[in-house]
Amino acid sequence: MKRKSKLRALINLLAPFLGLILVLVIFSSIPDVQSRFLRAANLKSVATQSVIVALGALGMTLIIISGGIDLSAASNIALSSVVTAYAINAGLPPLLAIVLGMATGGLVGFINGSLITGLRLVPFIITLGMMGIARGVAKWMAGNQKIDAPLTWVNELMAKSPQPSWLLLAPGVWLMIFLAVATAVLLRYTVFGRHVFAIGSNEATARLCGVRTKRAKIIIYSLAGLFCGLSGVMEFSRLTVGDPTVAVGLELDIIAAVVIGGGSLSGGEGSILGSMIGVFIMSFLRNGCTMMGWPNYIQEIIIGVIIVAAVSLDQIRHRRSA
Amino acid sequence: MKRKSKLRALINLLAPFLGLILVLVIFSSIPDVQSRFLRAANLKSVATQSVIVALGALGMTLIIISGGIDLSAASNIALSSVVTAYAINAGLPPLLAIVLGMATGGLVGFINGSLITGLRLVPFIITLGMMGIARGVAKWMAGNQKIDAPLTWVNELMAKSPQPSWLLLAPGVWLMIFLAVATAVLLRYTVFGRHVFAIGSNEATARLCGVRTKRAKIIIYSLAGLFCGLSGVMEFSRLTVGDPTVAVGLELDIIAAVVIGGGSLSGGEGSILGSMIGVFIMSFLRNGCTMMGWPNYIQEIIIGVIIVAAVSLDQIRHRRSA
Amino acid sequence: GKNKATPPAPGEAKVFKIAVIPKGTTHEFWKSIHAGALQAAREQGVEILWKGPQKEDDRAQQITVVEDVISRGVAGIVLAPLDDRALCRPVQDAMREKIPVIIIDSGLQGKDYISFVATDNYQGGVLAAKRMGELLQGQGRIFLIRYQEGSASTTERERGFLETVQKEFPGFRLLVKDQYAGSTTESAYQLAENLIGRFPDVEGIFCPNESSTFGTLRALQESQLAGKVKFVGFDSSPKLVQALRDGHLHGLVLQNPVKMGYLGVTEMVQHLRGQKIPELVDTGVYLATKENMDTAEIKALLTPDLSILD
Amino acid sequence: MDHNPADTLSLEMRRITKHFGATFALDDVNFRLRKGEVHALLGENGAGKSTLVKIISGAVRPDRGEMHLDGRPYGPTDPLEGRRSGVSMIYQELNLAPHLTVEENIMLGTEVHKAGFLKRRDVRKKVRETLEFLHHPEISLDIPVRRLSVGARQVVEISRAIMDRATILVMDEPTSSLTQEDTERLFQVIRKLKDEGVSIIYISHFLEEVQAVADSFTVLRDGKNVGSGPMAEAGLEELIQLMVGQKMRDLFIRTERRRGEALLSLKNLKGKNMQEPLSLELHRGEILGLAGLIGAGRTETLRTIFGLDPLEEGSIEVVGRPGLKTKPWSRIEQGMGLLSEDRQGEGLAISRSIMDNVTLSRFAPYKRFGMLRVKKRAQAVAGWIDSLKIKALSPAQPVSSLSGGNQQKVALARLLHQEADILLLDEPTRGIDVMSKSQIYEWMSQLAAKGKALLFVSSYFPELLGVCDTIAVFYRGELVAVRPAREWGDESLMAASTTGRA
Ligand SMILES: Nc1ncnc2c1ncn2[C@@H]1O[C@H](COP(=O)(O)OP(=O)(O)OP(=O)(O)O)[C@@H](O)[C@H]1O
Ligand SMILES: Nc1ncnc2c1ncn2[C@@H]1O[C@H](COP(=O)(O)OP(=O)(O)OP(=O)(O)O)[C@@H](O)[C@H]1O
Ligand SMILES: [Mg+2]
Ligand SMILES: [Mg+2]
């Protein structure tokens, strides 16, 4: 009896990871890449590659749980990376440049939130508009080019082999982990987090129960904007240039990660753990396919199939447990 | 009294066009392009440019009203255009090639619908998967290249100056108009149309009232797939080659057109007229901005701003009348 | 990665695996590079791993591909960098892992690679400008339709074109020089259509790559202006060759992608076998016109033999 | 006014006006609430009761008029302000976040926290105590509210309101899904709160309830205050006269009918959510009532019959009409129809028009060559609006803009329009005013006389006793007794449904 329940506890613990495990198992069992796929060096590089989408997904999770959507996330990342590069290029101290980059992201998010609550338009429209605006401003600032900024310690944030080597992972990865935990705590253990769920589940109810829905939404979008800003900083750190055309279409990857991780576009559902798993499912899929050297079209097909499979698996489990 | 009510009737009639009128007025009043913007030749070319998105938007309107979403629309267009080119290249009669292209689109839609109802997964995930799969298959079929097909009458479908010149507009434009009217009638004056709205408004209610929701959804996605297929044929007609990389990201334009036109992503709301207006708002915006010779980044910013403005305007009107 | 520490001695039976990383995989240009690389691989008895970023022209994803290829372990990397700066670090990483890198097509800052095999893109733009000057006798209203923001090789071509026009042909009036066609044929088509609607009296157009050239060509054909407007494009595809023959295109600046791919791999193998290789190879730019298109040299560039890929 | 001048006013509303488009929901209404009283707000469906109380809570802002709370001017701009000022409210359309758990819903907006971090331990204890106090300890704190039955949801909503420690507690039809037993409990709570000095506004269409619990009343008719006074002095007749402007007729009108052959036969039926298998027969010309407490399993039985829940064992036979599948569409083809107890969640597509909702389950009369005859449909629906006295501007009005009772009437109209032979009615009179109720009973009776079969679930025993031919009692998921209605009485029904012994 006891052993059985322990086993069940283990299964329950692993359950959300099912899709991810599926992907890992597939690639670890292909003889061709087996030996290299699960190596520390590869895991490190997948982790680093995931930081940008993961940071975006943290904010997007908040937004999607609250019943919204942010199409401007990718443009915001590009804009923030350009601002950071611009600032460093202008000779500002790197730390200030980072702050400016994040602030830009936060500002875009704040504007999103204010317009959504102020004009009472659906988030889809506002952030669609902002998607063009932020991208346009980024290109403008950068003069339609990329900005080559001198190398500083900012570029070390996403170095696969971090400088003090005891760090093991790039500082950006640690930051991502820290922020993921912090956001998860925010969502689960604070009043604000609970309000985010309530707004997404039934906004009218939240309002009638005295939740300040407008304020909460502005905070949600601003927070998400800050995350995008940080993601932009990381993008700059990785690219070493400020590129206004970077991350085109990345908003879909970010949203997909959240949805794969159980977020519902109609609000009220989602989790940080899930979204992070979603991010890593996609990263490992791409990584594995590249390692296999499969042509891109095969890769696209396989990723499509596995996304559906992974989420189906998760769904079946959910239905079982319900 | 009477005159007043006539005026009001006129206003009511024009009301849905407010956003579009705003865009037209803006560009027609800029001295620089004024004279050319509203010319027949320009209107013709805007109409032709809009066909591809418009056809996609017809199907997307059905899907969005029913509470779904189709991220695979653009990939489906690319795949269908490749299939058409492939068939013509293989020496099949053009008509058969068109049928094959449309059938491909319909098949993709059918698979979408069947998986959504069969696996009971959210449309976002299924069509996200299908987005990759269809794109991958298109590239595969085309061998990672454009397929050069010999010129046939299919390429006349999207000719800006159509062959029997009394046609005035390209046959594709007429087809678009005809299908838009047909779909609007389908939505408004048939039982199926009422079911689409009911499913989107409250699926549980629809089921309770004897609507065969699964079957209806499969039909909806298949129809939308057929529209994408036709859109792919038009894309081929326009480009004269089958290009597997065409229309990347177009799904967002299509969805945006529907949402700008009043479609609600949570289902139950939307109209064909609205979606078509959404399509033309975007086309005229792009057309006008290019004519002005503004740099692209300014265009992006302005388009973003006007999308928000146009929809706000519409929203205010709605709130007034409510 | 300690396994590939020293290059094996020449003549050793070991089969190298060499990664060739293009900027994208779905254009004729990259297929030609692929064909050249494959040709070289056959001749040299090595294997190649052909892998581009999943999204065409996405530099962040190209970095990812380089990193993944390093993780996988290969003997060498032949890379067409999407960015002369952003790809520096992954290339450094590769060199640190003792994986040599050869850069093809577009430049890379720094000196962390062993050789650079490319077209002089600026020169390509110059060639186009000169052709335009010749076609219009240095007088007239022209468009420069740009490709995409931030694309280095096309920016160079645009710069070459622009500077030559300004320096040598003061009689030209540039009606448009800041409009970007975007990455797809369709977007180029729409842009060109709208521009022609605005300036129907245009006399000459230059486009800096295949997709923008083809999109613009379609717009010209649709507006019944093909052949009337002097049109110079860049790179080749069957439809463009046809247009050249029909007189719809008046010049096509060509690179030699097959050679680029071929040399990239050949040099890599030579390096791995311990031979010395040149640091810089210019594969040349050529101008194809209706008149010279049937000469053997130009014909081979216009319609490269890709049968090896099948 | 003839009230005791010594009583202090808790809330005073003066000349309140509110209109929605062309509808005047409230027209120059005055309303006074004294401290520590239970004040009943009465009126027909659509009279403006909910609108009035929503103005008090801050959910709706009046066009005109002023309010004083404890003598101070009061004009909440949002519900938060109302709640902060001590006004707490149970909304008619249950006001819960479906994804949140019971505990989270109850504490929503008043979370106890330290520096923003939730402090859950003490809170959980208090929440559990409140549920126990309402005699519903079985409701788990940790399941999402969407998994609860409608009755249980109402209990959750009541818990939230009484935990609030408000000075004014507004209850908009709190008992519409409650059983007599639970209603009694609620009255105990109300009396206790009253003793603590809380003023309570109580809206209900159950006039006996109102007479039992309220101290005074106000009647609204068509958005106007048509009378107020102490409850003790008002008779039932008088209240109804005020509400509808005419004399009350008999509540239960029975039409002569004869029980015919069996039409629906359930053998050892057990659905996915049901606990015990059951067998039952429903005859032509019969109204079969199902009585029981919250969660007794009546709703699940209906859902299983109709194919909304999967059938696990046993059989469902519609005599003479074999069905293709156990799916709702197939049941409808067999001549069955269901009215859901959850009108917002399942019964109605509330964003669609009245017209769409009414005709959704039967389009046949309006089809010609595959096209809908729009005019004919609108006319037909206008007819239904008239005969059910639905307060609406036009058939094209969205259902979401109707008052709760009128929404329920739309749901009912849909089922009547469907012309089903077997009607499965789950709490069909929820939120419907007295006059309309009697009209509905009359219809049910007529339908039965025409040879249709009705399965009537209700938690309101008088209507079961007044309308049904046979009554079956459920107790904890089990069918415990089926007897002709005349063999049941109020007490025996209550005893059977609370103890399971009959
Ligand atoms: N949001 C709205 N939009 C339009 N009309 C509305 C809206 N809310 C209420 N109404 C109208 O106002 C009137 C009063 O509605 P209210 O909900 O106050 O009635 P009620 O007395 O509570 O009725 P019931 O007993 O049915 O609950 C109704 O005619 C209703 O249609
Ligand atoms: N979807 C559901 N998931 C889980 N439990 C449910 C669900 N629906 C109802 N229940 C539970 O099943 C039990 C039976 O509920 P049911 O709705 O059949 O009772 P009922 O007799 O109709 O009472 P009432 O509707 O008045 O609450 C209840 O305890 C309820 O909480
Ligand atoms: Mg009400
Ligand atoms: Mg029930």
Q: Predicted confidence band at B289 (pLDDT cuts at 50, 70, 90)? A: confident
pLDDT of C10 strictly over 60: no
Q: Predicted confidence band at B111 (pLDDT cuts at 50, 70, 90)? A: very high
pTM here is: 0.91
> So what's the pLDDT on residue A4?
67
Q: Are D225 and D30 in contact (CB under 8 A)?
A: yes
pLDDT in tens, B41-61: 888 889 998 999 999 999 999
How deeply is D256 buried, as exposed, middle or buried, from its count of CB atoms within 10 A (0-12, 13-18, 19+)?
Answer: exposed
Closest CA to D244 of D45, D385, D33: D45
Q: How far is CA B268 from the centre of its chain?
A: 18
Atom 12 (ligand 1) nearest CA: D25
Residue C144 CA, ligand 4 centroid: distance in Å: 72
Tokens of C7: 């290059």
Residue D408 CA, ligand 2 centroid: distance in Å: 20
Question: What are φ and ψ of residue D25, in 5° steps?
Answer: -75, -40
User: For residue B209, what is the nearest residue in chain D, using CA coordinates?
Assistant: D361
Sign (positive or negative) of CA dihedral A302, A304, A305, A311: positive
User: For residue A258, what is the nearest residue in chain B, using CA coordinates?
Assistant: B125
> So what's the pLDDT on residue B266?
85
The residues that bridge with D18 in the sheet, in sequence order, are: D26
Return d(Cα D59, Cα A204) in angstroms, integer. Answer: 9
User: For residue C214, what is the nearest residue in chain B, using CA coordinates?
Assistant: B239
Q: CA of C226 to nearest chain A CA: how many angstroms apart? A: 30
> So what's the pLDDT on residue C177?
87
Q: Ligand 1 pocket, D49 CB below 6 A?
A: yes
Most confident of A217-226, A265-274, D380-389: A217-226
The residues that bridge with D31 in the sheet, in sequence order, are: D13
User: For residue A237, what is the nearest residue in chain C, using CA coordinates?
Assistant: C86
Q: How many Cα atoms sit within 13 Å of D202 on the Cβ side? A: 33
User: For residue A232, what is the nearest residue in chain C, using CA coordinates?
Assistant: C60
Return d(Cα D99, Cα D80) in angstroms, integer. Answer: 21
Taking a 5 Å cut-off on Cβ, the residues next to ion ligand 4 are: D 299, 341
Q: Predicted confidence band at C216 (pLDDT cuts at 50, 70, 90)? A: very high
Q: In chain C, pLDDT over 70 holds for what percent of residues? A: 95
Q: CA of B294 to nearest chain C CA: how many angstroms apart? A: 8
Closest CA to D427 of D272, D265, D289: D289
pLDDT in tens, B4-18: 677 777 777 777 788
Question: What are φ and ψ of residue D56, in 5° steps?
Answer: -65, -40
Mean pLDDT across the stretch A201-212? 92
Chains contacting A (3+ CB pairs below 8 angstroms):
B, C, D
Q: Predicted confidence band at A3 (pLDDT cuts at 50, 70, 90)? A: low
Mean pLDDT across the stretch A19-39? 84
Long-range CB contacts (within 8 A, 24+) of C9-16:
C9/C273, C9/C274, C10/C273, C10/C274, C10/C275, C11/C273, C15/C45, C15/C46, C15/C47, C16/C46, C16/C47, C16/C75, C16/C76, C16/C269, C16/C272
Atom 29 (ligand 1) nearest CA: D46
Cβ atoms within 10 Å, residue B7: 10
Ligand 1 atom nearest the C-alpha of D43 is 21
Question: What are φ and ψ of residue D186, in 5° steps?
Answer: -65, -40
Q: Any chain D CB within 8 A of the CB of A286?
A: no
Tokens of D189: 């709570």
Listed in order, strand segments (DSSP E) in chain A are 147-148, 241-242
Most confident of A219-233, C36-50, C211-225, D302-316: A219-233
Please list the pLDDT of chain D residue by residue as tens digits (502 residues). Answer: 444 444 688 999 999 999 988 888 999 999 999 999 999 999 999 999 999 999 999 999 999 999 999 989 999 998 999 988 999 999 988 789 999 999 999 999 888 889 889 988 888 999 999 999 888 999 999 999 998 888 899 999 999 998 888 899 999 999 888 888 888 889 999 999 999 899 999 999 988 889 999 999 999 999 999 989 999 888 888 888 888 877 766 778 777 888 899 999 999 988 887 788 899 999 999 999 999 887 888 999 999 999 999 888 889 999 888 877 889 999 999 999 999 999 888 999 999 999 999 999 999 999 888 899 999 999 999 999 999 999 999 999 999 999 999 999 999 999 999 999 999 999 999 889 888 888 899 989 999 999 999 999 998 888 999 999 999 999 888 899 999 999 999 889 988 988 888 7
> So what's the pLDDT on residue C6?
46
> So what's the pLDDT on residue B309?
87
Concatenated DSSP letters of B95-157 = HHHHHHHHHHHHHHHHHHHHHHHHHT--HHHHHHHHHHHHHHHHHHHTTTS-EE----GGGGT
Return d(Cα D461, Cα D233) in angstroms, integer. Answer: 27
Contact at CB, A247 and C60, closer than 8 angstroms: yes
DSSP state of C226: B
Q: Give the CA distances from residue C234 to residues B296, C212, C281, D65, in Å, rounded to whole numbers and listed in that order.
A: 22, 9, 21, 75
Ligand 2 atom nearest the C-alpha of D143 is 4
Q: Ligand 1 pocket, D82 CB below 6 A?
A: no
Contacts C58 to B, Cβ<8 Å: none
Closest CA to C29 of C263, C221, C299, C258: C258
Listed in order, strand segments (DSSP E) in D253-375 are 262-271, 278-283, 287-291, 311-318, 336-339, 367-368, 371-372
Contacts A191 to D, Cβ<8 Å: 111, 113, 116-118
Q: Any chain A CB within 8 A of the CB of B260?
A: yes
Closest CA to A266 of D398, D347, B213, B203: B203
> So what's the pLDDT on residue D133?
86
Question: What are φ and ψ of residue C144, in 5° steps?
Answer: -110, 110
Q: Are D466 and D251 in contact (CB under 8 A)?
A: yes
Mean pLDDT across the stretch B270-290? 92
Q: In chain A, pLDDT over 90 holds for what percent of residues? A: 60
> So what's the pLDDT on residue D1?
42
Return d(Cα D474, Cα D299) in angstroms, integer. Answer: 11
Atom 2 (ligand 2) nearest CA: D147
Q: In chain D, pLDDT over 70 holds for what percent of residues? A: 98
Question: What are φ and ψ of residue D89, in 5° steps?
Answer: -145, 140
How deeply is D254 buried, as exposed, middle or buried, from its count of CB atoms within 10 A (0-12, 13-18, 19+)?
Answer: middle
Name every protein residue with a CB atom under 6 angstroms from any ligand 2 atom: D 147-152, 177, 273, 292, 294-300, 341, 459, 474
In chain B, where the domains are located? 47-246
Q: Any chain A CB within 8 A of the CB of B301?
A: yes
Q: Any chain B CB within 8 A of the CB of A311?
A: yes
Tokens of B156: 């006349």
Domains of chain D with bracketed CATH = 5-244 (3.40.50.300), 250-335+420-502 (3.40.50.300), 347-416 (no CATH)
Closest CA to A272 of A153, A179, A142, A171: A179
Contacts B159 to C, Cβ<8 Å: 222
> So what's the pLDDT on residue B180?
98
Mean pLDDT across the stretch B58-83? 96
Q: Are A267 and A67 in contact (CB under 8 A)?
A: yes
More confident residue, C233 or C305: C233
Instruction: Please tell me whether residue A79 adopts helix, strand or coil conformation.
Output: helix
> So what's the pLDDT on residue D5?
44
Instruction: Please tell me whether residue C233 adopts helix, strand or coil conformation.
Output: strand
DSSP state of D427: S
- Exposure string over D173-199, b if 16+ CB within 10 A, otherwise e: bbbbbbbbebbbbbbebbeebbeeebb
Q: Any chain D CB within 8 A of the CB of B210?
A: yes
Q: Predicted confidence band at A203 (pLDDT cuts at 50, 70, 90)? A: very high
Helix (H) or strand (E) holding D15: strand D9-20
Ligand 1 pocket check: which of D18, D19, D23, D390 to mutate, most ligand atoms within 8 Å of Cβ? D23
> So what's the pLDDT on residue A82?
96
- Probe site for chain B from C32, C180, C191, C193 (most B CB atoms < 10 A): C193
Mean pLDDT across the stretch B256-283? 92
Q: Is the ipTM of this complex over 0.85?
A: yes
pLDDT of C9 strictly over 60: no
pLDDT in tens, D442-451: 989 999 999 9
Residue D141: CB partners within 8 Å, gap ≥ 6?
D101, D102, D103, D124, D127, D128, D131
Q: Predicted confidence band at B314 (pLDDT cuts at 50, 70, 90)? A: confident
Average pLDDT score, chain C:
89
Contacts B247 to C, Cβ<8 Å: 184, 186
Amino acid making up residue A268: G
Q: Predicted confidence band at A251 (pLDDT cuts at 50, 70, 90)? A: very high
| C and A adjacent (3 or more CB pairs under 8 angstroms) | yes
DSSP state of D255: P
pLDDT of C142 strictly over 90: yes
> So what's the pLDDT on residue A92?
95
Return d(Cα A242, Cα A237) in angstroms, integer. Answer: 9
Q: CA of A117 to nearest chain C CA: how many angstroms apart? A: 34
